[in-house]
Chain A
Amino acid sequence: MILEVRGLSIHYGGICAVDGLSFGIETGSIVAILGANGAGKSSLLKAFMGVCPGRLRGEILLDGAPLGRAAPDRIVRAGLALSPEGRQLFAGLSVAENLAMGAYLRRDAAGVKRDREDILALFPRLRERLRQLAGTLSGGEQQMVAVGRALMSAPRLLLLDEPTLGLAPLVIDEIMALVGAIRDRGITVVLVEQNASKALARSDHAHVMEKGRIVMSGPARELASNEEIVSAYLGTA
């Protein structure tokens, strides 16, 4: 178990975004967290990274040790990285600089260079765009930069928040195929998605969130085959 959540609640003022969650993420797996807009998925990922502005209660454990209220730089060093919702690139920096910022905390120049090559092999289109400003790329390319930037910190656990939002179907398949390739490199992946069927097809395990709670958990294949569940909780799947 690489990450474990025990009784985690997140409040923004009087509004409860996450309500007493407890679950764990197996090392080496792809875990999908599904649910409608406002179910608390993004808040959860931000809490993992130490950048959630809300009030937190409960515990987040990394490798069995409580993270406490660690600052994001400590969490990145501990092996977590987030590709945030809406991509959040440094629009005025080049693709190369965006990737370099992903490795901001690393001091092993040789390792950074190796990982950069590996990431460019994963996203060959980025190699042609290295000198281009990130803000001028297409949506799919921007998403690749966001994932690549997160990978540049050499994470053990990669959090992907809505990586396919607003992308064309062909690009969605391209991004989803990469999720498997990332796991094959030994990186645990948490995939937050509204696009339930695509996410379930790629994941080992899935949790369905509604109003800040997990209302269903199980192997992804079982959830995907249960049409009743899919239509009830995930809308058009």
Chain B
Amino acid sequence: MTWLPLLLSGLAVGSIYALIGLALVIINKATDVVNFAQGEIAMFGTFVALSALNAAGLPVIVVLLLALPCGFLLGALLELVFIKPISDGPPLNVLIVTLGLFFMFNSLAGIVWGFDPYRFPSLFPTEPIAVAGAAVSPASLGIIAVTLVLMAALYLFFEHSRYGTAMRAASMNPFAARLMGIKVGRVATVSWGLAAGLSVVSGILIAPLTFVDQQMMISIILKGFAGAILGGFTSLPAAAAGCLLLGVTEAYVGTLATSTLKDSFAFALIILVLMLRPGGLFVKVARRKV
């Protein structure tokens, strides 16, 4: 049963990618840009969480629960201060501002917390548990479980709540959404909030397995972006599935070949898939009936 722990650790890493990938897709749907600062928002939030743990002495579980609402506030605030004032301009302007936010958070973290890596306490038990004769890491199971809960909540929100449906409507046709009385500007703010909340959770989930430093999310945002494109950047479930698939593929390639090969293999695979299916693996290229 060597495949089970490998599959689970692949899914766990894929879950981290998926949370970032979902955040990128949510913002892209609302503001038509890729938020390059998404990973740095996660990193900054993780540093804040670490400070809350160490300085305020909050229990780990409380910090994990606070991550989503606090991240939401941070993201909504960023949108109101930096994005809203320029949102009437071309999307490229917004893109440049997200690059600016990337460097701002990266430098800010360095100034406040320095450039040395910190340890983050474990969120889950560290003793491996036996599942079907294989030793499985509780951290992997925990990360997968938290991510699945968040995905289910997102699904219910976007598909079955009034405001979630309004957010999808505003993304499809902002003009018609305004005619319905939907405040399209507020949809953008809420999208940034949601995205930042998910990102901070992903940062806190991965932090105990890596270290906390200002470079911690750089490769993760690239993988989240790539995984989302692999699945299909226009659909939340497709993007999440692409990220999970990327995580699992990486895990297997890492054992079969050297781990240095796995990054380049992942991207080679994505390029190949997109040549064959430009819309992503799980998205049909829509054909409109006229």
Contact = CB atoms under 8 A, between A and B. Distances in A.
Interface of A: 49, 51, 71-73, 76-77, 81-82, 84, 88-93, 97, 100-102, 104-105, 135-139, 149-150, 153
A78 to B, nearest CB: 11
Given A90-B173, A135-B289, A136-B289, A101 B182 contact: yes
Interface string B164-177: 01101100110111
Contacts of A104: 162, 166, 180-182
Nearest to A134: B172
Contact of B176 (A71, A90, A97, A139): A90
A91 B178 contact: no
8 contacts: A49-B179, A51-B175, A72-B178, A90-B172, A91-B173, A101-B166, A101-B182, A102-B180
Contact of A93 (B162, B169, B286, B290): B169
Contacts of B284: none
A92 B181 contact: no
A106 to B, nearest CB: 9
B168 A90 contact: yes
Contacts of A49: 179
B169 to A, nearest CB: 5
Interface of B: 162, 165-166, 168-169, 172-173, 175-183, 286, 288-290
A105 B181 contact: yes
Contacts of A137: 289
Nearest to A159: B179
Contacts of A76: 179-181
Contacts of B181: 72-73, 76-77, 104-105, 153
Contacts of B173: 88-91
Contacts of A77: 181
Given A76-B181, A104-B166, A88 B289 contact: no
Given A91-B288, A135-B288, A73 B183 contact: yes
Given A100-B165, A135-B289, 11 more contacts: A76-B181, A81-B179, A88-B179, A89-B173, A90-B177, A93-B165, A101-B169, A101-B180, A104-B162, A105-B181, A153-B180
Contacts of B172: 90-93
A6 to B, nearest CB: 24
B168 A92 contact: yes
A135 B176 CA distance: 14
Most chain B CB neighbours (cut-off 10 Å) among A101, A138, A153? A101
Contacts of B169: 90, 93, 97, 101
Contacts of B289: 135-138
Nearest to A146: B176
A136 B287 CA distance: 9
Contacts of B286: 135
A218 B178 CA distance: 33
A71 B165 CA distance: 21
A93 B168 contact: yes
